Structure 1
Amino acid sequence: MSWPRCRTSLYFSGTNLALPARVKFESWCAVAGVLLLGMALIPSRLKGWPLTTSTIYLGIGMLFGPLLAGKISLSPFQNGELLERLTEIAVLISLFTAGLKLRSPLSEGKWKIPLRLAFISMTITVFLIAIAGVFGLGLPIGAAILLGGILSPTDPVLASDVQVEHSGDDDRLRFSLTGEAGFNDGTAFPFVMLGLGVLGLHDLGGLGWKWFAVDVAWSIVGGIGSGALWGYLVAKRVIHLRARRSEAVGTDDFLALGLIAISYGVALWLHTYGFLAVFAAGLALRHTEREVSEKSAENHAPSDATGAESAPISETMKVPEDDAGVQDLRDKIATHPDSAASFMAREMLHFNESLERIAELGLVVILGGMLSRATWSVQALWLAPLIFLVIRPISTWAGLLGAPKMSGARPYISWFGIRGIGSLYYLFYATQHGLSQELARTLTALVFSVVALSIVAHGISVTPLMKIYNRQTQKREELKT
């Protein structure tokens, strides 16, 4: 990849994103500044409104896209490789963030719900969308399966409003949706490969043995295993360096990016699914932190002999009054044996959440800007409601048969199947692997339209529905007490 020293053109592996000379660099800085400032100010204004930031970003893109059409050439067909990489990076950041949020022990029964949703429900979703593709859209079987694989995963980037809010959030609904989005952005890959294989663009092996052995079994297990190993090793090493030697302090942003990159790169070298590896790396790091923190907490338990309890670190440090004192306090917390692990995980999570918001802003605005007659499908007006109102409820109901009770969360899980950046990534991945121009345009129009409709429909409904859910949850808690 080469980056020419030129303000007016951006080249990405043969892809030309042209910015004419008449569009000055300072103008682009001003536009970016307005978007970023709006990103900082809009969320506080939206509290209580039936809107999400993604809905606003989509509207901004749709509003300004036609105005900039003559000034910037960005096409899902001509710039597919660039868009594939941008969406890929956004999904990786979001998957690692999702992993860091899920602190509950893997032995807890509530993990059964996201696993069922990510494996059973998603498989059913692919099958039902494929049926709709064959009989409703007239697609070849391979293209219909591919469409099912592209549109089946729920999105970790745009679903932050219904995900776990912090590591201590044990709400069943939020936990299930976060875990589902983390897993199924990787478990959708076998179906994308199956669709490409049926179209003759990927080797499935005789009777599909290679697809099952490599694309399903090895790629899933290997991806999760390699990512978990890297997350565990990095967490243990950094905690040791900080707590024992006071080293590697203040590098949490580099740790986050480095762990994402190495777990993803190694997974791809091993021909496994990098998305699952990155999610597993975040999970492993967080669970290693939890184990270390719990062992440290045991040291503060009253002694059987004396009843004495050692003071936690928060009670032994005074709040400083100047910047230097604040930094010194942060360094002490980062290196104290009782807090080094939790501080590391918390700082990495905060950094990743910031990256996630920037990625959401950029990609949803780009999506809105690319929506036009060439990337809009009238058929999505019936396909999207079919997915949201029929296929999603059926697949979640079937996937959760026999699962533990969820205290009224199931209807909300049936609705909050948000499609977004993950689907865009799989679309661009497929278009870069030999799809015919006609099929690529058909799938692009369908996927763009369904994702845009999902952003609007779920964005409008998330605030009022979550208010209702929170009230119901509060009433149940009051009845228990």
Structure 2
Amino acid sequence: MTDAFVLVLGVALLAAVLLSGLATRSALSTTAVFLVAGLVVGPLGLGWLRFEGGAVERAAEIALFAVLFTDGQHAPWRVARRAWRLPARALLVGMPLTFVLVALLARYLAGLDWGPALVLGAVLAPTDPVFASALVGQEHVPERVRSALNIESGLNDGLALPAVLLLVGTFGGHPEGFSTTWWVLLAELAAGAGLGVLMPLLVHQLLRLRALTADRRLRPLGPLAMAVVLFGVCDLVHANQFVAAFVAGAVVATLRPDASEEFKPTGELVSELTKGAALVCFATLIDWTVLGEAGWISLLFAVLVLVVTRPVPTALAMLGSELTARGRVAVGWFGPKGFASVAYAVIVSGSGMPGAEEVLAFTAVVVLVSALAHSSTDVAVARWWDDPRTEPVRSTRS
């Protein structure tokens, strides 16, 4: 399986590179290339590859960690201090409302029992930075829009995990390797945030020692090496690695902006590679059993999750903010569901909770639809601000 996976990933990566120029000016996306590759060689296609849930969960975690660490470097303290209001609205108002709406859809549209419906609401509440990264990385898109999406997606993945685990424990599940005790989950969140601050501070102090110098050619690998160590430490002490990744990226950009700028091209390439590998793994998780478990109603459910449960709460959360109508539409639409939801759904499926397989099936369909929809519209939305005469940002304070 390993040899076949390497070959498929290599072919998909080469195709993504060769088509990347077309992807920047059309609805085609490199995300679609990796997804199609996984679907073709997976159980829905030729049947060459099939990854189990644990492998998919791990691949999703690594990809999400890499993307969050890289995206965190777009949010140094000077940016976060100016831009905290909009992400706070999204996290404190928009995310809980999304949870409620998804749970109601799962209960009354999909017909799930209340337990799986509430768990599915928590699984699909966070947004994914992977599929919004193309918009976040466009410098001509207003900073308020990019910062709102970046900071929100950087934090909500880690914040959603405790809610998922608490609900799974409440409804009879026992996720292997995870606690369902609220104070332990809070401690893991705090540990993630703390490690995200302490690790860059430690490396920063080491670099101030005269005996230690980094060769210019290897300096872009410094933040990457630190991120790998951070991932391992979080695993070892059971800290919340998603919060740790984003916080660490932001701290690196704050302490050493020069190193952060040097690392960004490397970080984006590493993120693209891990994202591609995770997408191929995820696509092989989808088989006829999963689709049969979800049924045709899952497609309608997925569409409503994308066009109702994110845009409506976001519109309410952003009322009276400084965002223009164009900015509110962009922030509302770019609430993709991705690797965090996949990882959490796999955890749920192995917990023994009644209805766990339904949670995994509906999550898989929603993520598949979201990946295709959001990765094919990021270029079009970014072009809204190509015109230098674009609508100015309102001065109203949030």
- Where on the TM-score scale, by shorter chain, does this alignment land: which range? 0.7 to 0.9
Q: 1:198 aligns to what? A: 170
Given that 2:59 and 2:277 are in contact with CA atoms closer than 8 Å, whether structure 1 keeps it comes out as: no
Q: 2:125 aligns to what? A: 152
Task: Provide closer, same or farther for how the CA distance between residues 199 and 160 of structure 1 changes in structure 2, counting only shifts above 3 A.
Answer: same
Q: Please, which of 151, 154, 157 is the counterpart of residue 185 of structure 1?
A: 157
Give a deviation string over 1:107-159, Cα, whole Å, max 9, x none. 63322212322343212211221122222223233322211121111112222
Task: Provide closer, same or farther for how the CA distance between residues 257 and 430 of structure 1 changes in structure 2, counting only shifts above 3 A.
Answer: farther
User: Aligned runs of 1:58-457 on 2, under 5 Å?
Assistant: 58-65=35-42, 66-69=44-47, 71-72=48-49, 74-75=50-51, 79-103=52-76, 105=78, 108-165=81-138, 171-201=143-173, 210-211=181-182, 213-216=183-186, 218-238=187-207, 240-241=208-209, 244=210, 247-249=213-215, 250-252=217-219, 254-268=221-235, 271-290=238-257, 342=258, 344-376=259-291, 377=294, 378-406=296-324, 408-436=326-354, 439-457=355-373
Distance 1:353 1:83 in 2: 21
Task: Provide closer, same or farther for how the CA distance between residues 382 and 83 of structure 1 changes in structure 2, counting only shifts above 3 A.
Answer: same
Task: Provide closer, same or farther for how the CA distance between residues 45 and 394 of structure 1 changes in structure 2, counting only shifts above 3 A.
Answer: closer
TM superposition score normalised by structure 1: 0.72
Structure index of larger Rg:
1
Give, as a single letter, the amino acid of the residue that structure 1 aligns with 2:93.
Answer: I
Q: Which has the higher contact order (CA 8 A, sep 6+)?
A: 2
Give, as a single letter, the amino acid of the residue that structure 1 aligns with 2:289.
Answer: A
Distance 1:369 1:269 in 2: 29
TM superposition score normalised by structure 2: 0.86
Distance 1:478 1:142 in 2: 43
Give a deviation string over 1:24-75, Cα, whole Å, max 9, x none. x5x7665444222212211112222122211232233333434431x33x14
Give, as a single letter, the amino acid of the residue that structure 2 aligns with 1:157.
Answer: V
Give a deviation string over 1:284-321, Cα, whole Å, max 9, x none. 1111124xxxxxxxxxxxxxxxxxxxxxxxxxxxxxxx
Distance 2:222 2:351 in 1: 33
Shift of 1:253: 5.7
Give, as a single letter, the amino acid of the residue that structure 1 aligns with 2:96.
Answer: T
Distance 2:220 2:290 in 1: 37
Pairwise CA RMSD: 3.0
Given that 2:110 and 2:298 are in contact with CA atoms closer than 8 Å, whether structure 1 keeps it comes out as: no
Distance 1:257 1:146 in 2: 34
Distance 1:456 1:247 in 2: 44
SS of 2:201's equivalent in the other structure is helix
Distance 2:264 2:142 in 1: 17
Give, as a single letter, the amino acid of the residue that structure 1 aligns with 2:329.
Answer: P
Q: 1:339 aligns to what? A: none
Shift of 1:233: 2.5
Equivalences, count = 386
Q: 2:384 aligns to what? A: 468
Distance 1:416 1:63 in 2: 27
Distance 1:169 1:245 in 2: 43
Given that 1:118 and 1:187 are in contact with CA atoms closer than 8 Å, whether structure 2 keeps it comes out as: no
Give a deviation string over 1:140-196, Cα, whole Å, max 9, x none. 333222111211111122222111346x98622122111111111111112211221
Given that 2:73 and 2:260 are in contact with CA atoms closer than 8 Å, whether structure 1 keeps it comes out as: yes
Distance 2:5 2:237 in 1: 40
Q: 2:31 aligns to what? A: 54
SS of 1:446's equivalent in the other structure is helix
Give a deviation string over 1:241-289, Cα, whole Å, max 9, x none. 4xx5561324446533432244344445555422101111111111112
Distance 1:107 1:33 in 2: 37
Shift of 1:389: 1.5
Give, as a single letter, the amino acid of the residue that structure 2 aligns with 1:215.
Answer: L
Distance 2:128 2:141 in 1: 20
Task: Provide closer, same or farther for how the CA distance between residues 116 and 164 of structure 1 changes in structure 2, counting only shifts above 3 A.
Answer: farther
Give, as a single letter, the amino acid of the residue that structure 2 aligns with 1:63.
Answer: V
Give a deviation string over 1:418-441, Cα, whole Å, max 9, x none. 1112211111122233335xx333
Task: Provide closer, same or farther for how the CA distance between residues 171 and 245 of structure 1 changes in structure 2, counting only shifts above 3 A.
Answer: same
